[in-house]
Structure 1
Amino acid sequence: MSVSPGPGDRYVVGVDYGTLSGRALVVRVGDGAELGTAVHDYRHGVMDSVLAVDGRALPADWALQDPQDYRDVLRHAVPAALAASGIDPRRVVGVGIDFTACTVLPTLADGTPLCELPELRTRPHAWVKLWKHHAAQPQADRINALAHARGEPWIGRYGGKISAEWQFAKGLQLLEEDPEVYHRAERWIEAADWIVWQLCGVETRNVCGAGYKGLYQDGRYPSRDYLAALHPGFADFVAKIDGPLAPLGARAGGLTARAAAWTGLPEGVTVAVGNVDAHVTAAAARALDPGRLVVIMGTSTCHMVNATELSEVAGMCGVVDGGISAGSWGYEAGQSAVGDIFGWYVAHAAPAGYASHEALTAAAAAQPVGAHGLVALDWWNGNRSPLVNHDLSGLIVGLTLATRPPDVYRALLESTAYGTRMIIEAYAEAGVPVDELIVAGGLTANALLMQIYADVTKRPLGIIGSAQGPALGSAIHAAVAAGAYPDVPAASAAMGRVDRDVYRPDPERARAYDALYAEYRRLHDHFGRGGDDVLLRLRAIRNAARRAVDHDPAG
């Protein structure tokens, strides 16, 4: 495939907003060739300990961001990617956006973020709440309990539990902890939709975010009566998120003059409806057919699969009609921490001599399955699926004085594979088939990890043929929005890429992992399903101790 621009070629730009940075990718419409890319790091990163504007301490489990960092990606990464590609920007026909989700912010009716109002700059609840803001777990617990008590029909579409990460839990936390900011918020919007609004001046809501993160099912949100029963002041919440929903691959509008100046693109260029980073990657990986589980592995992991039939899968993040591509039921599950766990160990726990992933991986790869005598629970950032409880925490069982850093590292790698197998088995038990894994994300570079996943899950594992899966997926949707293809599957077939069956399960190792996985399941159910709530009690003790320090005048 030639990656040189041609005189008659048309191009699209995909912009992928991650946890710490945004990436722009210039892609040729005809064949998906990637011609230029650039990354811009968020200046404020993740605010999880202090608010950047005044240094005030944030409570436990908070994670905030600055929306100006998102605009800066458009101002820096997009022009840099265009320059790197060597193309004429006038040949660009569309722009597509994806975002980590649920990342949500309160705004005025014109889209102005509340944190940019001078009088609200120092109010933490006025800022963007990143996907991994988990401080709304008490609100999520109440939302779930009331939904089951009332027999709300939508709760089954989310595996019986909604997440603390999602729009309604975060919105209820806002109301209860800062009612003034709640009432000032005229719109409560996913960051993907907000960025599209910034680009084309038109507010749109994408069906993916609304369905998976906003509880939109069968043409409606949860009822006003239900919301009022949660809190009388919450009855009007839907008014802050309601609006016409747009299908994935649709045109949201044209680039405004202001956004054209930011990006270096011509005014009026098509802007596609926003999307979620995990879901958009399925198109990039040519994985829209049923049975192909897309596993997007980075700081966390998302598991996406299409199916022809509707099923309710216990503990999953959700099932949405057209949530991945039109005409299929899209299923989502996830793990709240994967790469973050490995990074934590390297940065904070591994001693000198093992202070890199490469060194630990090389040593761990020399071990036979089970030689370390360890099993870990991969709950360093809670459990997204199937337990949907972000108050849970991680665990390593089997440590001795003979345990060495590579032993722990391999056990952590394996624990995340066990978590993925739990998800696959939950899908299968509900009648949603998973025949193969297609992995995307930065962790695909770790061959040991990929082979562990193939062995543990007993399924062939392919690798997406792009290092920029979400950005390529957004570019594919931009091509559809611009009219270059009739639908997303057609664009995916032409522009996506995947290397199938790169890793195959080894029967002997797979049998050895069955025994370890059985121990993982016992621990999983004991500590996660009520056998012993010690992890929850420890978190409560920790939170109480931190609050005491925060409120100590002498501190």
Structure 2
Amino acid sequence: MALLLGLDFGTGGVRVGVFDLAARRMLAEREEPYATRHPQPGWAEQAPADWWEALGRASRAAMADLGSPEIAGICAATTASTVVVCRRDGTPLRPALLWMDCRAAAESDRTAKADHPVLGFSGGSDAAEWLVPKAMWLSRHEAETYARAEVICECLDWINFRLTGAWVGSRMNATCKWNFDSVENRFHDDLFTALGVPDLSAKLPQPILPVGAPIERLGAVAADHLGLSSRPIVAQGGIDAHVGMLGADTMAPGDLLMIGGTSVVHLFQLTEEQPVTGFWGPYPHALVDGHWLVEAGQVSAGSVLSWFSREIFALDGTGHDELCEAASRIPVGGSGLLALDYFMGNRTPYRDPHLRGAVLGLSLGHDRAALYHAAVEGVALASANVLKRMDELDVPCRRIVTSGGYSKNPLWLKATVDAIGRPVELPSRANLTIIGAAAAAAAGASLVPDLHAAAKAVVPPSRTIEPDLAAHNRYNELLGDYLEATELLAPLSRRLAARQREKPPA
């Protein structure tokens, strides 16, 4: 029996799954949370030690559920651009900058002014969320810490180091987020010099390994921490949502994976390079050789819905369910409200970290259900806007698979399907990232010949959700309002965001 351990480090916690490759099913799954701190508006930080402790608790619990079985392979997938600054022995020098942290907006703007061919892979600039702008920010604002840093890496690299004792980088993360040239298989120090971090490549984990490549066997201390009786091969992983492409088997051009969570990520591959203005990419060989990976997405999605239900309305799980029930009785556009989802900026198609969220049309007659319904519609309209841009770019989209938070929020799922107006496949397993990590682990342990075979070996069954075409027509009208409001409010949003940066709270 070939059992695989998939690790998914998300924004709020780590999920661990034990996958039976022969039976194509998950045998056990456990989750442990960790905290996020927001020292200033737009900032978000986590403690790497919290990730490791949460992983140990979750893995030991999963192993106990199954009587400590032998594991053949392990692979981790993590949030992208969650940046760790540490010593060579892994000791962090400061809290990690979480992926959603947008303090490096000015540094992101600076990358857009650089003239270097490798930036063409990311559409001409780096997002404020990514490792390079964050390293630039640290170099400028925390110069002593930056100088002391022997390693600047992502959550994935730090976890792999704790698992194996080896510093390696993922070709996926490096290509998509670090300006790694995956065609020439190297970093360009002249670009980093132009950006003010000439020594950055010396601090980045290397060598760079493709997803599914074996790293090392699990270390003895790490095996004990995870509750494993053996020391399986640890395979190289990647970005959580992107690894989900393996779990969904959406690796063929024309397939689109749309994962809803704290953010929404839209992922597809091309057979050749083509302009994808407003998107991130196309990235050569990021997931597999010979394909160009393209990423779109919404920075704030499920986090907007959680913010309304938890932070503003102070609801628990039961209260949230009741709120969704009340909101579901409101027809499309029936609240008379329009929400913009840019609470932490926009990733696609505007690539603007300075945009901010809004709710328009408020009156004293609106209640919590109306506000929540508008927020759901706003997040759904943002997804429709991404699909609209794909059509404008003549990107084929013959099949859509979705997972993540959509499976836990039927109101959000229905709104999204109706807004985009296309059939959507919903897999029976919600966490495609864990399944994708298991697929990469199978490749690393040589249980399958390659990642394509691995994806076929793990993909779960799914059901198809059809759109309500009458509702879709109404969403098309709302999309016009959404686009108009975005254009009108963008200058004001940027001024307000600038004031937040200039005058942080005491």
The answer for the alignment partner of 1:122 in structure 2 is none
CA distance in 1, matches of 2:215, 2:235: 5
**Superposition deviation, residue 391 in structure 1:** 2.2
Contact 2:4–2:73 at 8 Å: present in 1 too? yes
The answer for the alignment partner of 2:492 in structure 1 is 534
Residue number among 1, 12, 18 corresponding to 2:10 in the alignment:
18
Residue number among 260, 263, 266 corresponding to 1:300 in the alignment:
263
Matches within 5 A, 1:86-485: 86=67, 88-90=68-70, 92-109=71-88, 111-115=89-93, 126-144=94-112, 146-147=113-114, 150=115, 152-217=116-181, 218-219=183-184, 223-231=188-196, 234-241=197-204, 243-350=206-313, 356-485=319-448
- Measured against aligned partners, the alpha-carbon deviations of 1:321-360 in whole angstroms (never above 9, x if no partner) come to 2323343221111111111111111124348899833222
Of stretches 442-451 and 62-71 in structure 1, the one that deviates more from structure 2 is 442-451
Contact 1:37–1:85 at 8 Å: present in 2 too? no
Of stretches 395-404 and 328-337 in structure 1, the one that deviates more from structure 2 is 395-404
RMSD: 2.1
Higher CA-based Rg: 1
CA distance in 1, matches of 2:85, 2:502: 29
TM-score (ref. length: structure 2): 0.94
**Superposition deviation, residue 539 in structure 1:** 2.4
2:179 is aligned with what amino acid? L
Contact 1:417–1:452 at 8 Å: present in 2 too? yes
- Measured against aligned partners, the alpha-carbon deviations of 1:243-275 in whole angstroms (never above 9, x if no partner) come to 222111111111111111111224541001121
CA distance in 1, matches of 2:148, 2:84: 12
For the residue of structure 2 that corresponds to 1:546, the secondary structure is coil
Matches within 5 A, 1:496-515: 496-501=459-464, 503-515=465-477
Contact 1:199–1:255 at 8 Å: present in 2 too? yes
**Superposition deviation, residue 308 in structure 1:** 1.5
Match status 1:77 vs 2:58: yes
Of stretches 400-409 and 418-427 in structure 1, the one that deviates more from structure 2 is 400-409
2:36 is aligned with what amino acid? V
**Superposition deviation, residue 475 in structure 1:** 1.2
**Superposition deviation, residue 457 in structure 1:** 0.7
Residue number among 9, 19, 26 corresponding to 1:27 in the alignment:
19
TM-score (ref. length: structure 1): 0.86
Contact 2:121–2:284 at 8 Å: present in 1 too? no
- Measured against aligned partners, the alpha-carbon deviations of 1:35-92 in whole angstroms (never above 9, x if no partner) come to 11212222xx11213xxxxxxxxx4322121111122133221111111134x533x1
Q: 1:348 to 1:127 in 2, by over 3 A?
A: closer
Contact 2:264–2:297 at 8 Å: present in 1 too? yes
CA distance in 2, matches of 1:101, 1:153: 23
CA distance in 1, matches of 2:234, 2:374: 44
**Superposition deviation, residue 180 in structure 1:** 1.4
CA distance in 1, matches of 2:147, 2:354: 28
For the residue of structure 1 that corresponds to 2:504, the secondary structure is helix
**Superposition deviation, residue 230 in structure 1:** 3.1
2:478 is aligned with what amino acid? L
Match status 1:67 vs 2:48: yes
Q: 1:543 to 1:203 in 2, by over 3 A?
A: closer
